[in-house]
Chains A and B, each alone.
Chain A
Amino acid sequence: MTVLLDPTSERSPTVRPRLPRPERLDGLVIGLLDIAKARGDVFLDRLDERLRERGLAVRRYMKPTNTRTAPLPLQQQIATEVNLVIEGLSD
Chain B
Amino acid sequence: MSTLPQDGLIAIVKRDCPTCVLAAPVLGELARARGLQVYTQDDPSFPETVPERIDDTALNISHRLKIEIVPTLIRLENGREVARTYGWDRGEWERLTGLAGLGSDLPESRPGCGARNIEPGTIERLKVRFNETGLKSRRIELGEDEDEAEAMFARGWSDGLPLVPPTEERVLRMLDGTSRDPQEVIGLVPPALAAATVEKIAINAVMAGCKPEYLPVVLAAVEAVLDESFAMHGVLATTQFAGPVVVVNGAVRRHIGMNAKGNALGQGNRANSSIGRALQLMIRNIGEGRPQEVDRATLGNPGKLGYCFAEDEEGSCWEPLSVERGVKPGVSAVTVFAGFGLQGVVDQKSRTPESLARSMAESLKAIQSVKLAPACDAILVVCPEHERTFRNAGWSKARLYEELYRLCEIPGEELVEGARGIAEGGPASLAGKSVNKFRPGGLLIVRAGGGAGMFSGIIGGWSSGARGSMPVTKEVKR
Contacts and interface: CB of A to CB of B under 8 A. Distances in A.
A2 B142 CA distance: 6
Contact of A6 (B139, B148, B165, B287): B139
A9 interface: yes
Interface string A1-38: 11111111111001010000000000000000000000
Most chain A CB within 10 A, of B142, B151, B155, B287, is at: B155
A contact residues, range:
10 to 19
Contacts of A1: 141-142, 144
B157 A7 contact: yes
A53 B139 CA distance: 50
Interface string A30-51: 0000000000000000000000
B180 to A, nearest CB: 17
A64 to B, nearest CB: 23
A10 B310 CA distance: 33
Nearest to B133: A5
B437 interface: no
Given A9-B194, A10-B138, A4 B166 contact: yes
Contacts of B154: 16
A1 B263 CA distance: 41
A6 B194 contact: no
Interface stretch (B199-207, B242-250, B376-384): B199-207
A2 B287 CA distance: 25
Contacts of B203: 5-7
B192 interface: yes
Contacts of A9: 189, 192, 194-195, 200, 285-288
Contacts of B135: 5
A4 B287 CA distance: 19
A5 B194 CA distance: 17
Contact of A8 (B141, B157, B165): B157
B168 interface: yes
Given A9-B194, A11-B192, A11-B194, A3 B140 contact: yes
A6 B140 contact: yes
Given A1-B142, A2-B142, A7 B167 contact: no
B267 interface: no
Nearest to A12: B288
Nearest to A10: B138
Contacts of B195: 9
A2 B167 contact: yes
B429 interface: no
**A contact patch SS:** loop
Nearest to B286: A9
B281 interface: yes
A17 to B, nearest CB: 13
A76 B443 CA distance: 49
Contact of B138 (A2, A14, A16): A14
Most chain B CB within 10 A, of A6, A7, A9, A14, is at: A7
Contacts of B165: 2, 4
Contacts of B168: 3, 5
Nearest to B166: A5
Given A2-B148, A3-B167, A3-B168, A8 B142 contact: no
Contacts of B200: 7, 9
Given A9-B287, A9-B288, A11-B194, A3 B141 contact: yes
Contacts of B139: 3-6
B171 interface: yes
B141 A7 contact: no
Interface in B175-196: 189, 192, 194-195
A11 to B, nearest CB: 7
Interface in B116-172: 135, 137-142, 144, 146, 148, 151-152, 154-155, 157, 165-168, 171
A10 to B, nearest CB: 5
A8 B151 CA distance: 14
A14 B288 contact: no
A8 B171 CA distance: 14
A7 B281 contact: yes
A5 B171 contact: yes
Contacts of A6: 137-140, 203
Nearest to B148: A2
A5 B138 contact: yes
Interface string A67-85: 0000000000000000000
Contact of A5 (B140, B142, B189): B140
A72 B135 CA distance: 39
Contacts of B285: 7-9
A1 B151 CA distance: 13
A11 B137 CA distance: 12
A11 B188 CA distance: 14
Interface of B: 135, 137-142, 144, 146, 148, 151-152, 154-155, 157, 165-168, 171, 189, 192, 194-195, 200, 203-204, 207, 281, 285-288
Given A3-B167, A9-B200, 5 more contacts: A5-B139, A5-B167, A7-B200, A9-B287, A14-B140
10 contacts: A1-B141, A4-B166, A5-B137, A5-B138, A5-B168, A9-B192, A9-B195, A9-B200, A11-B194, A14-B138
